[in-house]
């Protein structure tokens, strides 16, 4: 990203102040957004919180004479402030976590949250929320609190403005924290529906019963999730559904598997 990429260069032996081009990057991002306006970010799933599989980066670091001491965990972290974003200019470059930055992924840069960690971001102007994975350092410009990927900013509805006022809530990825997160997510899945409603993923609606049964067998071969074929007299279609799902995490992981097998992503239905 803008300054965080420079942080990596500083750690590697680079010196000097950010260039004027870097300082003006936010203007570039807003103009560059026009090239991506047709991308439907609703099909990009939020990050799925998971306990860290390897080392977590919490080492102190210095930039421009200031030392930053990262937190040991994102649990309990709640702040309100300004969020910005970064996009195509840094797409494909390494983040402070050593991963490759993907402007279409659901990631973020923060000065003191551990790498990696997960947070929920809520745009206070429209109440939209996303979950992102923090894998980069920054922002170090002005009073900005967090930098989101282009996709995350667009899902929150502020990519064309450059900044937004947000609420940041750290997600506890300890075993106890993950259990609480799954329970909370399950409530979110049923929000706006009858309390007894179950959540399914409809993969297809086919006119051929044989085709629907064939798809069912293909799905059962790639997952342990129950699969149903539901006939409809009204439109004479055979709907292939997976589920029910008890958490948003399970549903998103199933959608990811469907994409790997080139079966689309399906859509949620309640029953």
Domains defined for the chain, CATH in brackets? 2-173 (2.40.40.10), 193-270 (3.30.70.1070)
**pLDDT > 70 in the chain, percent:** 79
Of 40, 34, 112, 33, nearest to 71 by C-alpha is 112
Query: Within 10 Å of residue 171's Cβ, how many Cβ atoms?
Result: 23
pLDDT at 1: 52
Instruction: Identify each DSSP E strand in 70-224 by its residue range.
Output: 78-86, 107-109, 117-123, 129-136, 144-149, 164-170, 199-206
Task: Average the pLDDT over 68-73 and give the result.
Answer: 96
Instruction: Identify each DSSP E strand in the chain by its residue range.
Output: 61-63, 66-68, 78-86, 107-109, 117-123, 129-136, 144-149, 164-170, 199-206, 227-231, 238-245, 267-270
What is the model's pTM?
0.60
Of 31, 5, 257, 9, nearest to 150 by C-alpha is 31
Mean pLDDT over all residues of the chain?
82
Taking the CA atoms of 28, 29, 30 and 35 in sequence, report the sign of the dihedral they define.
positive
Query: Within 10 Å of residue 176's Cβ, how many Cβ atoms?
Result: 10
Bridge-based pairing state of the strands 78-86 and 164-170:
antiparallel
**Minimum mean pLDDT among 133-137, 156-160, 226-230, 233-237: which range?**
233-237
Tell me the pLDDT band of 195, cut-offs 50, 70 and 90.
Answer: very low
Contact 244/208 with Cβ under 8 angstroms?
no
DSSP 90: G
**Minimum mean pLDDT among 49-58, 84-93, 179-188, 196-205: which range?**
179-188
pLDDT tens for each residue of 33-64: 444 555 778 778 889 888 887 889 999 999 98
User: How many angstroms from the chain centroid is the CA of residue 255?
Assistant: 14
Bridge-based pairing state of the strands 78-86 and 144-149:
parallel
Task: Average the pLDDT over 54-80 and give the result.
Answer: 94
Q: Cα–Cα distances in Å, from 17 out to 14, 20, 60, 85, 110?
A: 10, 9, 20, 21, 20
Tell me the pLDDT band of 22, cut-offs 50, 70 and 90.
Answer: very low
pLDDT tens for each residue of 216-250: 999 998 887 889 999 988 888 999 999 887 667 77
Query: Within 10 Å of residue 10's Cβ, how many Cβ atoms?
Result: 16
Helix (H) or strand (E) holding 213: helix 209-222
DSSP line for 243-255: EEESSHHHHHHHH
pLDDT at 5: 39
Tell me the pLDDT band of 200, cut-offs 50, 70 and 90.
Answer: confident
């Amino acid at each position: 990203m803008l300054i965080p990429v420079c942080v990596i260069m500083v750690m590697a032996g680079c010196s000097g102040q950010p260039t004027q081009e870097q300082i003006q990057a936010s203007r570039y991002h807003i103009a560059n957004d026009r090239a991506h306006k047709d991308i439907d970010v609703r099909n990009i799933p939020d990050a799925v919180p998971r306990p860290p599989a390897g080392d977590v980066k919490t080492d102190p670091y210095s930039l421009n004479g200031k030392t930053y001491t990262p937190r040991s965990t994102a649990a309990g972290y709640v702040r309100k402030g300004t969020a910005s974003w970064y996009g195509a200019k840094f797409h494909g470059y390494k983040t402070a976590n050593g991963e490759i930055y993907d402007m279409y992924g659901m990631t973020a840069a923060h000065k003191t949250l551990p790498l990696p960690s997960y947070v929920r971001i809520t745009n206070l102007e429209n109440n939209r929320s996303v979950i992102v994975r923090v894998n980069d350092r920054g922002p170090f410009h002005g009073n900005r609190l967090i930098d989101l990927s282009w996709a995350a900013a667009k899902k929150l509805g502020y990519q064309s403005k450059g900044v937004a006022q947000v609420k940041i809530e750290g997600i506890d990825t300890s075993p106890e924290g993950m259990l609480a997160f799954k329970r909370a997510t399950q409530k979110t899945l049923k929000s706006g529906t009858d309390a007894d409603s179950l959540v399914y993923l409809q993969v297809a609606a086919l006119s051929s019963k044989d085709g629907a049964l064939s798809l069912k067998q293909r799905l059962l071969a790639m997952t342990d999730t129950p699969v149903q074929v539901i006939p409809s007299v009204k439109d004479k279609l055979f709907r292939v559904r997976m589920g029910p799902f008890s958490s948003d995490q399970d549903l998103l992981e199933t959608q990811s598997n469907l994409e790997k097998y080139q079966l689309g992503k399906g859509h949620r239905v309640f029953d």
